[in-house]
Amino acid sequence: MAFGNEEAAKQCLTHISYFRLKYYWTDMRDGVTEHAFKEGASFEDVIARYNFDRSLRLILFDAIEIIEVALRAKIINHLSQAKGSGLWYLDAFR
pLDDT tens string 48-84: 999 999 999 999 999 999 999 999 999 999 989 998 8
Q: Does 44 have pLDDT greater than 70?
A: yes
Q: Is 55 buried (19+), middle (13-18) or exposed (0-12) by CB count in 10 A?
A: exposed
Confidence of residue 94 (pLDDT cuts 50, 70, 90): low
Q: Measured between alpha carbons, how far is residue 5 from residues 14, 49, 60 in Å?
A: 15, 17, 31
Whether pLDDT at 25 is above 80: yes
pTM for this prediction: 0.71
Contact 30, 38 (CB under 8 A): yes
CA distances from residue 54 to 23, 24, 59, 69, 92 in whole angstroms, order as listed: 13, 12, 9, 23, 42
